[in-house]
Amino acid sequence: MKTTQDIIKIVPLNKDFKDELLSKFDTLTPDQKYGIERLIWNYYDALYEAKVQENMQLAFDRAKKNEEKLDDTFYERIRKLTEQELTEEYSKTETTVELLDTREALQKILNQTKN
């Protein structure tokens, strides 16, 4: 099972921002952690679901050519492949692609002073 820190490492955010977020994560207030966790997981879920849909379409295209089996493990295989692809795609290379609104919301939570 992935932790929020695992997901932070995977999602496409600027490397410096990821490093800052990870270094401060354990010292955040419960409210800050909650806000960041919600944003990070929603961001990851959106990326994941879009990639699942893409992989499903590709798999259906392969199935039409008898290159993919449509059996009872089909969906599980697609989901595992998707998770693996996301991890490889976003964690091996620094990416500059990110959702500006998500990053700004995370930065706002991160910058809140502890009360």
Q: Mind listing the pLDDT tens digit for each residue in 4-60? A: 999 998 888 888 888 999 999 999 999 999 999 999 999 999 989 999 999 999 999
CA nearest 112: which of 52, 24, 48? 24
Q: pLDDT tens digits for 65-101?
A: 999 999 999 999 999 999 999 888 765 655 444 555 6
Length of the chain: 115
Chain centroid to Cα 3, Å, comes to 11
Tokens of 31: 């409210």
Q: What confidence score (pLDDT) does residue 29 get?
A: 92
Any residues with CB less than 8 A from the CB of 52 and at least 6 apart, and which?
A: 78, 79, 82
Chain centroid to Cα 65, Å, comes to 31
Say whether pTM exceeds 0.75. Answer: no
Q: What confidence score (pLDDT) does residue 9 get?
A: 87
